[in-house]
Amino acid sequence: MTTTLRPAGPDDRSDDGHRSRTYDVCVNSRRVGGIRLTTDPLFGPAAGRMAGLEIDPPDRHRGRATVAALAAEEVLRGWGCRRIELTVPADARAALGLAAALGYTERSSRLAKPVTTAPQLPAGSTDLPLSEAAYPAWREAAVAARTRHLAQQGMPPECAARTAADGHRAMLPLGAATPDHALRILVHDGTEAGHVWVALRMPGHPGGYVVDVRVGEGHRGRGHGRTLMGIAERECLAAGRPVLGLTVHSGNAPAAGLCAALGYRPTAHLLHKPIL
């Protein structure tokens, strides 16, 4: 029996090179499932994305999903994609196993936890809102850090700089005064020790989301990361958002360990694979 992909919708293309299409997964022309292929909204037309791969129950455990995923890779390669981004729910064990077998590796994980009580700040610590006067310097440093991170993930430097700047501008159009965002500075013993940025309403997330949290150099290893996460939880509760999420990048063992200790649990894994 031959498993193939058959177009099931229009080939949607945009002027900036993005593309998407839905396919039926077929065995000898009989539909047994479906999949949607797109270019990645963040990394652009050079990166593809598989979404919604589903095999009908009677045809599962027969290798259909494996063959469909490999066929999808060929389609995306034909689109000019050079890698594939994949998001898999943390409880989708079969999908995670398939992705590992096909050579996908984890880029980052999304974590979340219910928030019920905001912890007290430790002695000597307080937090303040980021002022409008301090915002330009903070924004410049944040955009630079985001640019470096995107470049490390394979985005060309000029594209990384543009994407980081555009993303900040879109999320914080009014700077520190943008509604539904909390930008807080941690001060310990009179010295700025770090900051946390919480989006209190973010598309695709049921509660608040930590967009950025950072402890300044010279202040690390002193528990300030835990304090900043406590501030984020307090802001989340104050806004009536009983769940707080964030993304932890692979290889960031200290952040992963802290989040696990604070009760955060994975909700999804973000994977990738080159298809040169």
pLDDT of 227 reads 96
- Domain presence at residue 192: yes
What is the predicted pLDDT for the residue at 251? 87
- pLDDT tens figures, 180-209: 999 999 999 999 999 999 999 988 888 999
CA distances from 11 to 6, 20, 29, 137, 219 (A): 12, 6, 20, 44, 52
CA distances from residue 65 to 22, 174, 248 in whole angstroms, order as listed: 15, 46, 28
Picking from 81, 99, 134, the residue at the C-terminal end of a domain is 81
Specify if 267 maps to a domain. no
Please check whether residues 226 and 140 belong to one and the same domain: yes
Mark whether 191 and 236 lie in a shared domain. yes
pLDDT at 2 exceeding the cut of 80: yes
Q: Both 180 and 76 in a single domain?
A: no
Q: pLDDT digit string (tens) for 90-147?
A: 999 999 999 999 999 999 999 999 999 888 999 999 999 999 999 999 999 999 999 9
Q: Is residue 30 part of a domain?
A: yes
When pLDDT is averaged across residues 39-55 and rounded to a whole number, the result is 92
- The 10s digit of each residue's pLDDT in 162-184 is 999 999 999 999 999 999 999 99
Which of the 8 DSSP states describes residue 116?
A: -
CATH number of the domain encompassing residue 8:
3.40.630.30
User: Mean pLDDT throughout 245-252?
Assistant: 93
- Write down the pTM of the prediction: 0.90
Q: Determine the pLDDT at residue 212.
A: 95
> Do residues 161 and 57 share a domain?
no
Q: Are residues 62 and 128 in the same domain?
A: no
Residue 262 lies in a domain: no
Residue 113's DSSP bridge partners are 244
Does 130 fall in a domain? yes
Whole-number mean pLDDT of the chain? 94
Q: Is residue 100 part of a domain?
A: no
- Which residue segment(s) compose the domain that 24 sits in? 3-81
| Predicted local distance difference test score (pLDDT) of residue 74 | 96
- Residue ranges of E strands in 41-150: 44-55, 83-89, 105-114, 125-129
> Would the pLDDT of 1 be above 70?
no
Whether the pLDDT of residue 7 is over 90: the answer is yes
CA 71 – CA 3 distance, rounded (Å): 9
For residues 229-237, average pLDDT? 96
The mean pLDDT of 6-35, rounded to a whole number, is 95
**55 and 154 share a domain?**
no
Query: Is residue 77 located within the same domain as residue 137?
Result: no
Residue 141 makes CB contacts below 8 A (sequence gap 6+) with none
Chain-centre distance for alpha carbon 89: 12
Query: d(Cα 103, Cα 92) in Å, to the nearest integer?
Result: 17
* pLDDT score, position 253: 92
**Predicted confidence band of residue 10 (pLDDT cuts 50, 70, 90):** very high
Say how many domains are in the chain. 2
Q: In the Cβ-directed half-sphere of 40, how many Cα atoms lie within 13 Å?
A: 20
Residue 243, pLDDT above cutoff 70: yes
**Could you tell me if 70 and 131 lie in one domain?**
no
